[in-house]
Chain A
C-alpha cells in the first residue's frame, strides 16, 4: 500500500511537471526565432572511407559550448547568432573533426570523419564538453559499436548483437535456449526491435541461440531501456533500434567469415561513386547438413535436419543535396525437419521474418528535416505433422503494412523538436490449424484473422533551459482499432460457443485512444557529473502469449481486442552520472520503479488446442506487474585495457486474479542479482584478448510439492507459481582475435573463442522423473536438471577485401 501511494504521489508530481514544461517549451520555441537574426550551420556527417552516415555524432561550437547530435541519417542543424566559431565533430572511434567557421550566412557542410589513429580508442572519443553520458537528457540509453561487439567472445564464434546487449545492466538474458531478452522486468514482447525502422517480431534463430541480425550487415545499435522518447511507442519496456549499413559509397568491398556452424558473405559498393551504393549480405548454417552424411541411411531419423539462413539487402541513393532514398530488406528462415521413419512420423517446421522499408529523406530547409518511411514486416510460424493417415498443420503469424512521417525541426540551438505520425495496418493470424484423417477434413473452424489500425501522432522537444538544466518533453497520442471482418464467439462455462457476433469488413470492433506523456530532465551537478530523472507512460496494443515455460517461436502475437485490453506501463527513473579521469571512466547509478497493467497469461489449464477454431483471447487471463531495482554501471572507455562492469539488483512481480489463487508471484525472469563483466585487452596491434563473465540469479519456476494417484498414474500438485529458484547462472568466456597479414587490398583475422570456459552446466529446466512401481516398492522419484552447453571452443576466419 505504501508503495502504491508513493507511486501515486510520483505520478501526480510528474504529470504536473510534464504539462507545465510542455506548454512552456513550445511557447518558448517561437519567441527567440524572431528576436534576432540567426544563421544555420547544417549538414551531413559521414565516414570518409566508406561514406556511411554517422549516427549520433556530436556536433558543437567550442566558443559557446553548445551543440547537437546527428540524427539517424547523419544530419545536423545548428542555428546561432553570426560570429566566428570553431565547429567540432566527435564520434565513437573517429578522430575529432575541427573547422573554423565565419558565420555570416547559412552554411551547409559535408563532413567526413577519419577513423581514429589511436587504435585503442575503440570506445567513445570523448571531450569534456561532449560526453554524452552526463550531458544528454536521455536516460538508460546505450549505443554499441559493431567493432566492439565483434571482438567479444561468441557462442560458436557467431557474433551476436542481442547477446552483447544482454551484458548491459538492466537487460537480462534468460539463459540459453530462450528467445528474447528482458528489460527492467518487462517480457520479451515488450521490446520494440526495429530493423531500419521495421519491427521485427521474432529476433532469434534456433530457439534463441542466435539473433536474426547478421553482424556484417549492421552499422549501429541503440538500446533505450528507460525514458523512451515520444517518437517510439507501442511497447512498454525498451526500444532496440538497429540500422543496417548503407553500402560503401567509395569502393567495392567484400567481407566474409567461415565458422564451425555457419558462414557469411557481404558484398557492398558504389553504384555511382558518392551518390549511390548497395549492400548484399547473406548467412547460412550448415551444422545439420554437415551431420547428414554421418546419419546412417538405415537410421530411423534419416532426413532430420535443422538449418537457418538470412539475407539482408539495402540500396542507397543521394537524389540531390536535399533528398536521399534508402531501400532495405531482410529475409530469414529457420527450417526444422524431424523424421522418425519407423513410425512414419514427419514433422516439418519453417518459421521466420521478412521486412522491407523504403525511406526518403528530404530537407525542407536547413532547419527542417523530414523522413518518410514505408514499411512491410511479416513473421510466420508453421508446423506440419504427418503420421499414418493423419495430417496436421498449425500456423500463426503477424503481418504489418505501415508508413511513418517523421520531422526534425531545429529552430534554435536550444531546441531540437521532433514530430510526426505513424500508421500501421496489422493482420494477425493468432493460431490456426488444419487436420485431416484420410480424406476427412477435420473442422478447424474458420481461419480467424484479426485486423487492426494502429495510429500515432507525437511531438517532442529537447530544450536547454539554462546551461545546466535541459528538458525533454514529449507527448504521443496513440489510437488502436480492431476492425472486421471478425467473428466473436461467446462462451459458456465449459468454453462452448453459445453465440457468435459477426463484424463486417472495416467495421469497428474495439477502439482504444490514449495519451502517452514522456518527460525527462537533466541537471548538471559538476564538471563531469549530472543528475537525470525521467517519467514515461506507454501503451502496448499487441501481446505475445506463451503457453510454455520457455519462449519459443510457437508463441503467438495477439492484438488488443474487446477482451484483451492494451498493456499500460508507467516508469519512473532517477540516475546519477559521473565521469572520471578525463572521461576515461564513465559511471552511472540508475534506480527505477515500473508498473504494468493488463499483463497477459494463459488461463490455468489452457490447452494447446484451446486457440484453434476459437477467438484466441478466450484462453487468456489478465493481471498486473511491478518491477523495481537499481543498476550500476562502470565503464573504462579508453586505453589498451577497457571494458565494463554492470550490476543490477531488481525485483519483478506479477499478480493475476485467476492465477496462483490471486496471490502475487515472481515473474519467471525475476532476477535479484545480475552481474556482467566485459574486458578487452589489446595485447599488440595484431592480437586482442576479450573476456566476459555473467552471473544471474536462477529463474523462478513452478515445481510440484505433492503427488497423488488417479487411474494408477501419479499426478503432481504444484506449489505456488514460480516459488522455486533454479541454480544461478554463471559463465566465463574468452576470445582471442589474431589479425592476419594486412595488405591494402586484403585483411583477415582469426577469432578463437571459448564459451563457458570452466564448463559449468547452467540449468535450462528441471523436470521430475519417476521409475518403477509402488506395489513392488521400486518407485523412484527424482528431480533432474537439464543443461544445454558445457565448454564450447570455436574458431572463425573473417576476411575483407
Chain B
C-alpha cells in the first residue's frame, strides 16, 4: 500500500511540476489603422453606423484613446435601391443627457458607455430610409480617403413558435430560456438572438452562441435553450461563478429574435468564434469574415426582429 501511495505522490508531484503559464512580452509589428464599421438596420428603425478605427493591440485602453478612435465627418450613405440618403453624425456630447437612454435602446449600445464617453453614431431621422422587411440596403462610406461599401438585407420575419423559462436541473431559482422554432424548408435561414433582463442589463445582450443557421435544422420543428450572455469582462456577481449564464426565476426577460442574411451570419459566427477563443490553438482559425468591402473591417447587418417578453412566475 505504501508503494502505491508513493507512486501517487510522485504523480502529483509531476502534476505540480508540469504545465505552466506565464506572461511574456511580444513585439508586435506596427500596422496601418483600418476603418471599422458596426452598422445595423432593423425594420421600422433608422440605420445606425458606428465608425471607428483599429488600434495597436497593446496600445493603452482607456476612455481617451477610445474617444479618439471615432471617425468624424465621414460621408455615410444608405440606399435601398430606389432611394439614397446621407446620414448625419450624432455624438452624445451634442444631445441632452435625457435622450441617451433612448439612443441606447436604438443603438444597442450599453447606456453607461454612451454616458461615459463622447460616443458618435451616423444615422438619420428621415423615415423614408428606415428599415423595411425584405429590402436590401447598400452602404457607402467615404472617410480618410477611403471608400467602403457593403450590402445587407432585412430578411422576412421568422417568429418563434413559443418561448419560456425553465429551471435547470436541481436548481429551483435559476434556469435557461427555452424556445421552440419551426425553420421553414429551404436552406439559407440564419438567426441571431438577444436577451435583456429588465433592470439588470443596460442593453439587449447577445446570448452565448447568438447565431445559428439552418444547416442542420432545415425544415425542422425543434426546441433549443439559450445561455445568457454578458457584457465584456463583466464583473457583476451574477456573471461570475455558479450563476454565470443563468437567468433567474425572478427576472423579467425581453427577447429579440432576429432573422439575418447569410453574409451577416458568417460575420457573427466567425466573430463569436474569435471572441470566445482568443487565440486558443485548439480552436479554429480566427479570421473574422467581414462583409465590408474596400479594406474595412466589421459588419453591416440587417435584422428582421421579433420581440418577446418572458415573465417566468
Q: Which residues of A contact B (CB under 8 A)?
A: 260-261, 287, 290-291, 294, 342, 344, 388-389, 433, 435, 437-438, 440, 442-445, 494-497, 547-550, 552, 602, 604-609, 612-613, 703-719, 723-724, 727, 759, 761, 765-775, 777, 779, 781-792
Contact = CB atoms under 8 A, between A and B. Distances in A.
A710 B271 contact: yes
A444 B216 contact: yes
Given A443-B216, A713-B232, 14 more contacts: A260-B14, A612-B216, A706-B31, A706-B54, A708-B52, A708-B297, A709-B52, A712-B231, A716-B274, A717-B297, A759-B17, A765-B280, A779-B61, A785-B23
B55 A781 contact: no
B100 interface: no
A717 B34 contact: yes
A440 B298 contact: no
Contacts of B52: 708-709
Nearest to A547: B284
Contacts of B266: 494, 605
A556 to B, nearest CB: 13
Given A604-B289, A716-B279, A774-B66, A344 B169 contact: yes
Interface string B41-81: 00000000000111111100111001001000000000000
B278 A769 contact: yes
A706 B34 CA distance: 9
B55 A708 contact: yes
Contact of A791 (B17, B113, B282): B17
Nearest to A761: B20
Contacts of A496: 187-188, 262
Contacts of A792: 14, 17-18
A607 B23 contact: no
A379 B110 CA distance: 50
Given A494-B266, A708-B53, A767 B278 contact: yes
A704 B231 contact: no
A408 to B, nearest CB: 46
B284 A613 contact: no
A209 to B, nearest CB: 11
B22 A719 contact: no
Contacts of B299: 710
16 contacts: A260-B11, A261-B11, A291-B11, A342-B242, A442-B217, A606-B285, A708-B34, A710-B299, A711-B206, A712-B113, A713-B232, A717-B54, A775-B116, A785-B23, A790-B20, A791-B17
Contact of A790 (B17, B36, B108, B231): B17
Q: Quick one: which of B25, B285, B287 has the most chain A CB within 10 A? A: B285
B262 A766 contact: no
Contacts of A438: 222-223
A440 B222 contact: yes
Q: Quick one: which of A718, A727, A765 has the most chain B CB within 10 A? A: A718
Contacts of A287: 11
Interface string B197-228: 00000000010000000011111111111000
Contacts of A727: 24
B26 A766 contact: yes
Nearest to A498: B187
Contacts of A765: 279-281
B83 interface: no
Nearest to A494: B262
> A-B pairs with the 9 shortest C-beta distances?
A494-B262, A549-B281, A779-B61, A706-B54, A605-B289, A767-B279, A765-B281, A604-B287, A440-B222
A397 B26 CA distance: 39
Q: Quick one: which of B18, B34, B278 has the most chain A CB within 10 A? A: B18
